[in-house]
Amino acid sequence: MKSLIIILAFVLSAWSSESVAFIKNTHNDARVKRDNAVHTAKIGEYLFSGDTIHTGKNSSIGLSFNDGTRIAIGPESEFIINDYLFQPTKKDFKFNVTLPKGTMVFESGKIGKLAPEKVNIKVPQGIIGIRGTKFIVDAE
């Protein structure tokens, strides 16, 4: 009975949060950390604000966000979805992520076009603000 309650609590917490992206593709060792639990990333899996993506050696993962932003994360990387909000009818947008280490290719979606000042990408040596639609980052 206790395990059923724990499972229900986990499912309800996932339902209470709105997904912000999904995994489009994955190669080799890519993992998702959510609420202190780590699991293997799966194609089609939904991601949420607060999730952290880790890739191993010779690994990569492709993400597609709700606004159409696409991100490819390279080997030996860590990528954190800090805060994401896409509510175009309310003109309310947030795209706040961190790349503490590794590589990433970013292709802007609607948030980058409608409110580029709301796109915030943190890297070890600074913050990237977008003015274009596509770039590559290598955080050592």
- The residue among 65, 93, 134 whose CA lies nearest residue 51 is 65
Does the pLDDT at position 133 exceed 90?
Answer: no
* Tens of pLDDT, residues 68-80: 999 999 999 999 9
In a domain, 129, yes or no: yes
Classify residue 10: in a domain, yes or no.
no
Tokens of 91: 């003109």
The whole model's pTM is what? Answer: 0.82
Buried b (16+ CB within 10 A) or exposed e, 66-86: bbebbbbbbbebbbbbbebbb
Query: Domain total for the chain?
Result: 1
State yes or no: pLDDT of 3 exceeds 90.
Answer: no
Identify whether 5 is part of a domain. Answer: no
In a domain, 4, yes or no: no
Query: pLDDT grade, residue 46 (50/70/90)?
Result: very high
